[in-house]
Amino acid sequence: MALDWTPGRLNSLGFAKPPSETRVVVAMSGGVDSSVVAAQLAEEGYDVVGVTLQLYDHGAALAKKGACCAGRDIHDARRVAEDMGFPHYVLDYENVFKDAVIDEFADSYLGGATPVPCIRCNERVKFKDLLETAKDLDADCMATGHYIQRKMGEHGAELHSAADANRDQSYFLFSTTPAQLDYLRFPLGHLASKAETRALASKYGLSVADKPDSQDICFVPNGDYASVIEKLRPGAGEPGDIVDMDGKVLGSHNGVIHYTIGQRRGLGVGGLASPLYVVKLDVDKKHVIVGPKEALATRMIPVREINWLGDAAFDSQTEWHVGIKVRSTRPPAPAVIRPISATEAEVELLTPEEGVSPGQACVFYDEGSSRIFGGGWIWRGN
């Protein structure tokens, strides 16, 4: 049912014109979230155009359940568009995705880092090339199924955490720029739970109403990072030594790529008084360096490639007191950011945190509200 609109007022997407005259491109992954966004906007009377990106060889991915942008997902997105009566396009972004996301993922993993390719995909593909495609289609805005909120503040559009903390995707969207934020819309960010999304899917009669959520990185089958890296970079799984913090050899491993900072299980080093954890990876020496849990504690974090979403310039202050996340599953921890330049800083955690690794994102949160101030990339370890 189309929404009533009164001349002079803004519609639900923030434009001073009827929904029927407002074109919105919806990024459709084939999952329930983006399908609900497209269906809801279509029902409200907007001029909806659905776009799905083919990001990698979906022929090889057909046998894999639970990954976005694979063959079944393209079919599901197309079916939703047909059922709701709006056009749908599939764009081949395989080469772009490989160059912008997969290659860096492989190289950073080989460098001993812990990459987060979903952030780079949003930053370099969905919110860059796809957003430009939406503009080429004369769309007024682009909508996605991400659980995050866009709110208008005194100085323009602001990024805020989702109402449902369990679904919040702010960690993966910190690199959204102010210009992108002006153009993007996130219609699900205010919902209290995923159950509400599925209820809407059932209300619209969508075939994907009960479709499971994707769990893995789309191009990493069953979460097996190492096999993907070895396929992309033959010879990456070369064996080496497991050593303690003094360099004493404790055992051997079959490739640094099989380990991550903070890992405890599967080290193959037993018979010691206290458990050991991976505290560092030395790729050049092919060393997996292990130590006690307290060796993982980090207080100072170097961050670069910072995307700042505050109202004042990032380097206009010597210190910013914020909350930070270094992984998506933990709540923000109190910290002080000390800018070095407009895009680089030293972050000091007030309470040391374990398992901080190069390659992870460091995301900044306002301690007094749901607002996100951006973030950057951790680029070296202890």
Q: Is 112 annotated as a binding residue?
A: no
pLDDT of residue 329: 86
Q: Is 170 annotated as a binding residue?
A: no
Report all structural domains of the chain as residue ranges with CATH numbers, in order of start: 19-145+187-204 (3.40.50.620), 237-291 (2.30.30.280), 297-378 (2.40.30.10)
Helix (H), strand (E), coil (C) string for the chain = CCCCCCCCCCCCCCCCCCHHHCEEEEECCCCHHHHHHHHHHHHCCCEEEEEEEECCCHHHHCCCCCCCCCHHHHHHHHHHHHHHCCCEEEEECHHHHHHHHHHHHHHHHHCCCCCCHHHHHHHHHHHHHHHHHHHHCCCCEEECCCCEEEEEECCEEEEEECCCCCCCCHHHCCCCCHHHHHHEECCCCCCCCHHHHHHHHHHCCCCCCCCCCCCCCCCCHHHCHHHHHHHHCCCCCCCEEEECCCCCEEEEECCHHHCCCCCCCCCCCCCCCCCCEEEEEECCCCEEEEECHHHHEEEEEEEEEEEECCCCCHHHCCCEEEEEECCCCCCCEEEEEEECCCCCEEEEEEEEEECCCCCCEEEEECCCCCEEEEEEEECCCC
The series of mean pLDDT values per 10 residues for the chain, 382 residues long, is 72 94 96 96 97 72 48 89 95 88 86 83 89 95 97 95 95 95 97 95 92 78 78 83 92 88 83 83 89 91 97 96 93 96 97 88 96 93 50
pLDDT of residue 59: 46
Q: Is 31 annotated as a binding residue?
A: yes
Record the pTM: 0.88
Q: Is 34 annotated as a binding residue?
A: yes
Q: Is 53 annotated as a binding residue?
A: yes
> 242-263 burial string, b = 16+ CB within 10 Å, else e?
bbbeeeeebeebebbbbbbbbb
Q: Is 228 annotated as a binding residue?
A: no
Residues whose CB falls within 8 Å of the CB of residue 330, separated by 6 or more in sequence, listed in order: none
pLDDT of residue 214: 76
Residues annotated catalytic, as ranges: 121, 218
pLDDT of residue 202: 95
pLDDT of residue 61: 42
Q: Is 276 annotated as a binding residue?
A: no
Q: Is 245 annotated as a binding residue?
A: no
pLDDT of residue 212: 86
